[in-house]
Amino acid sequence: MQIRFADARPTGEFALVLPSSGTTAPSLDSLGAAKAGVAAALKRSRFEGDAGTVVEIFLEGDGGRRLIVVGTGNKANDGDAVEKFAGAAIARLLTSGETHAVIDLSGLKLDADAAARMAFAAALRSWRYDRYRTRIKEKQKATLTTVTIVGAGQAAEERYATRYAAVVEGVALTRELVTEPANIIYPESFVERVTESVKGLGLEIQVLDRAAMEKLGMGALLGVAQGSVREPKMLVMKWNGGKAGEAPVALIGKGVTFDTGGISIKPAQNMEAMKWDMGGAGAVAGAMKAIAGRKAKANVVGVCGLVENMPDGNAQRPGDVVTTMSGQTVEVINTDAEGRLVLCDAMTWTQRTFKPKSMIDLATLTGAMVITLGHEYAGIFSNDEKLAGQLIKAADESGDKLWRQPLGDAYDRLIDSPIADMKNVGPREAGSITAAQFLLRYVEDGVAWAHLDIAGMAWADKASATAEKGATGYGVRLLDQFIADTAEA
In angstroms, rounded to a whole number, what is the distance separating the alpha carbons of residues 422 and 434?
A: 11
Beta-strand (E) ranges in 378-469? 378-382, 402-404, 422-423, 448-453, 459-460
* DSSP three-state, residue 374: coil
Please list the rounded mean pLDDT of every run of 10 residues in the chain (489 residues).
Answer: 95 94 75 87 91 92 88 83 95 97 90 95 97 93 97 95 98 98 98 98 98 98 98 98 97 98 97 98 98 98 98 97 98 98 98 98 98 98 98 97 98 98 97 98 98 98 96 98 94
Report yes or no: 246 and 134 within 8 Å, Cβ to Cβ: no
Active-site residue flag, 340: yes
In the chain, where does the domain assigned CATH 3.40.630.10 lie? 166-487
DSSP secondary structure, 172-229, as one string:
HHHHHHHHS-TTT-SHHHHHHHHHHHTTTS--EEEEE-HHHHHHHT-HHHHHHHTT-S
Question: What is the structure's pLDDT at 194?
Answer: 98
Q: Count the neighbouring beta carbons within 10 Å of the beta carbon of residue 458.
A: 27
266 is known as an active-site residue:
yes
Q: Could you say which of 65, 266, 357, 401 is catalytic?
A: 266
Q: Which fold has domain 166-487?
A: Aminopeptidase (3.40.630)
Amino acid at 122: A
Containing 36, the helix (H) or strand (E) segment is helix 35-44
Residues 6+ apart with CB under 8 A from 388: 380, 382, 404, 450
Every domain of the chain with CATH number 3.40.220.10 lies at 2-152
Q: What is the pLDDT of residue 178?
A: 98
Single-letter residue type at 174? T
Assigned CATH for 2-152:
3.40.220.10
Q: In what order do the strands lie in the sheet with 358-363?
A: 204-208, 233-240, 299-309, 249-259, 358-363, 448-453, 378-382, 402-404
Q: Which helix (H) or strand (E) holds 397?
A: helix 385-398
Distance CA 474, CA 78 (A): 20
The two beta strands, 329-331 and 321-323, are antiparallel
Which pLDDT belongs to residue 460? Answer: 97
Handedness of CA 417, 421, 424, 425 (dihedral sign): positive
Which residue from 132, 136, 133, 104 is spatially nearest to 118, judged by alpha carbons? 104
